[in-house]
């Protein structure tokens, strides 16, 4: 795809990434969610990004709409050790979205978030009386607390979901509070023997998860550990880790088959992935989309700079021998359109050409159309409001995960209500919720090819 800035990166960063065409067609191949066998041979990992040959100057003038802002400096630094971003190109960066002169990281390492923070959603009766707000609101269909689902006795009383998948009419839920994986048929019957809390096998390392995704083709699951020491014991780097999970046929336990680090360095300011989704394109290349928790993939004030969500797309690399020599290499950072002006991001789900993203605390979800060939959003997306109580108070306050049920219905998993949260939040905490999208959300869902 020479001559086309399919990555949507700013010009100086694009120039820093040029010079290697090993995988220049991988991200732009026709993609599909249908099961596709992975290729048996994999290219040697590139020392710099596979952006392709040098681009014509005129091709850089108008990068795709959803990634026209410069890459966040801290986020670029997290990718720097891969040779994908040169330090000088990142160090002298003007403030985000501005034409101001370049500044050094020391004088301006993060955006002036306080100047761009947008207020939280209105929490007054006036909001619920607004016809536009009503037209963009979801309707509750069915909900159940996690603790009410299991017939067998359970060892824990806290359920803090961090990931949700829906496969063959079954929900699979992972938690930050327990190592178990919830297996729940989507009828969500209470005290039902068909609902299981799948335990981790005795000979498997104990851990908790930050998100789960179903891997098409072989039925396995991928789960992310948000922050873990990498294999580099010298530098002590910490990176997200993608674990491959195998659930036993009798649903008694699951095992971790292997772990593959994501080449994405985490710091106190650079956050890990809050949720993941898996994608295979028509060439058999395998990708993970990692949703960052904070805006700009950062914590602190910059992480609360609403409307700057990021998704990191990573390509699977495997080398043999040995089989466990594998990792996920970041190939692109996608800017979520600013209409998803969330304080933080909780869940990511894909269905055809639509991406569904949930806010953790804003009591809203966002849906945007996506082009899998260019890895870009093709519209500005739409915000939808979660239901409120009769006093128009927010009750869904701590969403931990989201997933499609079908074209018109979605499922959310809410986490633990925190001390100091408004009392209405406690009634909906630690539960699964099925909701109907408003009529305005009805749109054709095309395949990802």
Q: Where are the domains of the chain?
A: 115-441
358 vs 100: which has the higher pLDDT: 358
Q: Which two tokens stand for residue 182?
A: 């919830």
Distance of CA 429 to the CA centre of its chain: 21
The CATH number fitting domain 115-441, selected from 2.120.10, 2.130.10, 3.40.50, 1.25.40: 2.120.10
How high is the pLDDT of residue 256? 86
Read off the pLDDT band of 108 (50, 70, 90). very low
In Å, what is the CA distance from 231 to each residue of 19, 250, 259, 276, 411?
A: 28, 34, 11, 22, 36
d(CA 89, CA 79): 13
pLDDT over 60 (residue 2): no
Mean pLDDT of the region 412-430: 93
In Å, what is the CA distance from 418 to each residue of 286, 342, 359, 411, 421?
A: 37, 19, 16, 22, 6
Nearest Cα to Cα of residue 293 among 373, 350, 227: 227
CA atoms within 13 A on the CB side of 130: 12
d(CA 161, CA 120): 23
How high is the pLDDT of residue 444? 65
Read off the pLDDT band of 40 (50, 70, 90). very low
d(CA 376, CA 8): 8
Distance of CA 187 to the CA centre of its chain: 26
**Any idea how long the chain is?**
449
d(CA 171, CA 179): 16
107 vs 183: which has the higher pLDDT: 183
91 vs 218: which has the higher pLDDT: 218
Mean pLDDT of the region 32-51: 34
d(CA 8, CA 334): 8
How high is the pLDDT of residue 88? 29
How high is the pLDDT of residue 219? 77
Q: Among 187-196, 242-251, 423-432, where is mean pLDDT lowest?
A: 242-251
How high is the pLDDT of residue 205? 63
Nearest Cα to Cα of residue 355 among 340, 343, 342: 340
How high is the pLDDT of residue 69? 52
pLDDT over 70 (residue 68): no
How high is the pLDDT of residue 322? 59
How high is the pLDDT of residue 381? 95
Residues 402-418 have pLDDT tens digits of 999 999 999 999 999 98
Distance of CA 426 to the CA centre of its chain: 26
- Average pLDDT, whole number, for the chain? 75
- Residue 288 phi/psi, 5-degree rounding, is -120, 130
Mean pLDDT of the region 388-397: 93
The angle formed by the CA atoms of residues 243, 247 and 250, to the nearest 5 degrees, is 165
Q: Is the Cα torsion angle 219, 220, 221, 222 positive or negative in sign?
A: negative
pLDDT cut 70: percent of the chain above it: 67
Mean pLDDT of the region 372-396: 94
pLDDT over 60 (residue 198): yes
How high is the pLDDT of residue 267? 80
How high is the pLDDT of residue 325? 82
pLDDT over 50 (residue 80): yes
- In DSSP terms, 238 is beta-bridged to 229, 266
How high is the pLDDT of residue 214? 95
Give every CB contact of residue 184 below 8 A, 6+ residues apart in sequence. Answer: 149, 170, 171, 173, 195, 196, 432
How high is the pLDDT of residue 24? 38
How high is the pLDDT of residue 200? 78
Mean pLDDT of the region 30-59: 34
d(CA 357, CA 410): 11
- In DSSP terms, 375 is beta-bridged to none
Give every CB contact of residue 84 below 8 A, 6+ residues apart in sequence. Answer: 17, 48, 49, 330
pLDDT over 90 (residue 26): no
pLDDT over 80 (residue 101): no
Residues 110-144 have pLDDT tens digits of 443 333 444 455 556 788 999 999 999 999 999 99
In Å, what is the CA distance from 84 to each residue of 46, 79, 144, 287, 343?
A: 9, 6, 45, 17, 29
How high is the pLDDT of residue 105? 27
Residues 337-350 have pLDDT tens digits of 999 999 999 999 99
How high is the pLDDT of residue 272? 83
How high is the pLDDT of residue 370? 96
Residues 274-314 have pLDDT tens digits of 999 999 998 899 999 999 999 999 989 999 999 999 999 99
pLDDT over 80 (residue 52): no
312 vs 54: which has the higher pLDDT: 312
CB 65 within 8 A of CB 55: no
């Amino acid at each position: 795809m020479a001559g086309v800035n399919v990555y949507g990166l700013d010009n100086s960063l694009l120039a820093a990434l040029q010079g290697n065409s090993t995988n220049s067609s991988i991200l732009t191949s026709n993609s599909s969610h249908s099961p596709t066998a992975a290729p048996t041979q994999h290219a040697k990992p590139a020392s710099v990004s596979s952006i392709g040959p040098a681009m014509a100057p005129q091709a850089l003038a108008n990068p795709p709409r959803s990634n026209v802002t410069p890459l966040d400096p801290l986020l670029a630094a997290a990718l720097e050790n891969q040779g994908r971003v040169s330090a000088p190109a990142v160090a002298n960066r003007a403030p985000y979205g501005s034409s101001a002169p370049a500044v050094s990281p020391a004088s301006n390492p993060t955006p002036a978030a306080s100047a761009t923070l947008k207020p939280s959603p209105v929490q007054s009766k006036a909001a619920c009386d607004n016809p536009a707000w009503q037209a963009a609101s979801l309707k509750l269909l069915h909900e159940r607390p996690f603790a009410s689902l299991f017939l067998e006795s359970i060892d824990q009383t806290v359920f803090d979901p961090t990931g949700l998948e829906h496969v063959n009419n079954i929900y699979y839920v992972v938690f930050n509070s327990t190592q178990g994986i919830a297996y729940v048929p989507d009828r969500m019957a209470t005290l039902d023997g068909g609902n299981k809390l799948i335990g981790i096998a005795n000979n498997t390392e104990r851990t908790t998860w930050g998100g789960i995704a179903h891997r098409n083709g072989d039925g396995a699951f991928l789960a992310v550990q948000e922050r873990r020491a990498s294999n580099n014991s010298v530098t002590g780097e910490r990176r997200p880790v993608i674990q491959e999970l195998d659930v036993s046929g009798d649903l008694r336990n699951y095992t971790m088959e292997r772990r593959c680090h994501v080449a994405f360095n985490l710091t106190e300011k650079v956050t890990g992935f809050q949720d993941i989704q898996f994608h295979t394109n028509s060439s058999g290349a395998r990708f993970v989309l990692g949703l960052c928790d904070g805006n700009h993939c950062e914590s602190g004030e910059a992480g609360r700079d609403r409307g700057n969500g990021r998704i990191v797309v990573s390509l699977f690399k495997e080398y043999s021998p040995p089989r466990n020599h594998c990792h996920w290499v970041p190939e692109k950072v996608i800017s979520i359109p600013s209409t998803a002006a969330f304080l933080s991001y909780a869940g990511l789900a894909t269905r055809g050409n639509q991406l569904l993203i949930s806010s953790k605390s804003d009591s809203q979800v966002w849906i945007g159309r996506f082009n899998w060939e260019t890895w870009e959003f093709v519209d500005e997306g739409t915000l939808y409001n979660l239901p409120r109580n009769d006093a128009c108070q927010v009750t869904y306050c701590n969403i931990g995960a989201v997933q499609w049920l079908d074209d018109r219905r979605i499922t959310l998993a809410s986490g633990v209500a925190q001390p100091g949260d408004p009392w209405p939040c406690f009634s909906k905490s630690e539960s699964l919720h099925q909701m109907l999208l408003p009529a305005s959300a009805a749109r054709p869902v095309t395949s990802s090819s």
